[in-house]
Structure 1
């Protein structure tokens, strides 16, 4: 593998989020503190930049899978829709759709629904286009940090939060199909560890679902990547974990351009980025 490269001059303040376009152009978007969005090509050349209204930080950038020219950006309690071909101003703004600051966005495969996770613990579903809030899901008791639609199952959504909960939602009835508390699992495991051994709490930072729709992966503060297999009837069939990082694991993302759907990339506060083959793990 070639050594990594650094792309410079795209931002004047810390970068908080990055997203990749699904189309053949292979564009990358990055968002930073203060509301600046930069679009890059695959070679690291800047295509354009946009300063969003206000001074709220960009917390998430995600391209639409059905309209690859459109980028959705969360900043504060607002979501802005940007067309990278014309970066003079957003083409749409969904103002105050978050109850508190929005942490993460996800768009379903058809591009008809946008899910948002915010600091209040709520998950809100917006109809696209238009941005009308059609559902609000409440079950997290702390910050909801990440959401992901389940591929090939348009009525399933997964959310995770700093309450250490992983929740699979059934959107037709707007209620959980199942809930998994990562801390409960670790408590059982730690009974078998040496007395007095300390562990970071498994605050859940990022969730991703494999392209086949049956594996959920969650990056957590305990440095582990927690894995869940979903069986028939959307039941939780199996769970496990891999020790991924020496410090908190902050990112986990399945990649869909390799030999099978179980390749995963994780990133952690230890400064490491790791590529995993999970095909034999679960």
Structure 2
């Protein structure tokens, strides 16, 4: 693993969202409401969407059954905006959007993460009010879950192979697992702070990111420097356990904690079934291999770790099988994207 980035991209405004699509097509969203597309490893902008309104909080790819890009959905302020993938314009505006759905319920209720179901039929969203909801992508009908987080909800992911189940994470230090058809909570995990060590008081364990791999493993990063990995919902080829009626990924007795950083872990993401990447606010990227030991106990082995140079603070991370991308801003407040080889 090289400690130097494969490439660095500079943009005028701080980076606020990243998403890697098929063939490592990178979408970069920034605080000034613009989105830029790149075909990695090239750092040349291939197209951009400008003046989408507020800061870009999240970008989600909508793919066809053949894994080809259909569109990207962008969270900007209270709106989820859809930009078609085959847009021919080099510089597009909100007028070129194929859809725009207002999801925030009042002026302060801005969107955070967007996530698209495996079957491509639903878009999940979270917002500052703690709301978790879904949008039917054929009708744009909105369904909000009957329960919500007590404060900001920043993260949401669908459970693979379970299109009517999703998991969300909030600043109330809770992970909630929903049945989207009923709008009800199926399970939850309330995270408590660890006992203070050597008198050091860290941030509360707000959940800053949630990731679920194709086998149903879940990982959640917190503001107090930790990552929780849960294996209760993992599909195992040799398992004698019958598939449960609902995903059991939030079972506390089936999970463990990783101490990753001294400060907030802004992002965690699975790139494939065995590798988990984490990134701290100050740009420390770490790889973990998560697997089961001979006794079937889930464990994580720390791999490589690298510090992203020139980044003052990291706001977002994305990973594929071959690359890890982080974005934020430099000491002058300008946007920076750094791309690393993941092997």
8 A contact 2:74–2:82 mirrored in 1: yes
Counterpart CA distance in 1 for 2:112 and 2:133 is 12
Conserved in 1, the CA contact under 8 Å of 2:202 and 2:263?
no
Please list the CA deviations of residues 44-77 of structure 1 after superposition, one character each: whole Å capped at 9, or x if unmatched.
Answer: 22111110343x1111111113351411101000
Per the alignment, residue 50 of structure 2 pairs with: 51
Give the 3-state SS of the residue equivalent to 2:69 in structure 1. Answer: coil
* 1:120-175 Cα shifts (integer Å, max 9, x gaps): 00011000134220333432001001000011111110000000000111122211
Do 2:178 and 2:186's aligned partners in 1 also have CA atoms closer than 8 Å?
Answer: yes
- Contact 1:229–1:239 at 8 Å: present in 2 too? yes
* Deviating 4+ runs (over 6 angstroms): none
1:1-282 mapped onto 2 (5 Å cutoff):
1-2=1-2, 3-9=4-10, 11-21=11-21, 23=22, 25-43=23-41, 44-54=43-53, 56-66=54-64, 67-86=68-87, 87=89, 88-89=92-93, 90-99=96-105, 100-183=109-192, 186=193, 189-190=194-195, 196-213=199-216, 215-231=217-233, 232-233=244-245, 234-235=247-248, 236=251, 238-256=254-272, 261-280=273-292, 281-282=298-299
Q: Deviations over 1:93-112 (max 9, x none)?
A: 32322221001000001110
User: 1:98·1:116 contact (CA, 8 Å) conserved in 2?
Assistant: no
CA distance in 2 between counterparts of 1:69 and 1:26 reads 15
Checking the alignment, whether the CA contact within 8 Å between 2:221 and 2:268 is kept in structure 1 is yes
> What SS does the corresponding residue of 2:291 show, helix, strand or coil?
coil
Counterparts of 1:85 and 1:171, CA distance in 2: 31
CA distance in 2, matches of 1:69, 1:202: 37
Structure 1 regions of 5+ residues with no counterpart?
none
State how many pairs are aligned: 267
Counterpart-to-counterpart distance in 1, 2:130 and 2:144: 14
The change in CA–CA distance for 1:16 and 1:122 in structure 2 (over 3 A counts) is same
Secondary structure of the equivalent of 1:103?
strand
State which drifts further: 132-141 or 152-161: 132-141
SS of structure 2 residue aligned to 1:81 = strand
Distance (Å, rounded) in 1 between the aligned partners of 2:198 and 2:261? 22
Moved more, 64-73 or 119-128: 64-73
The residue aligned with 2:339 is none
Flag structure 2 segments of 5+ consecutive residues without an equivalent: 234-243, 293-297, 300-343
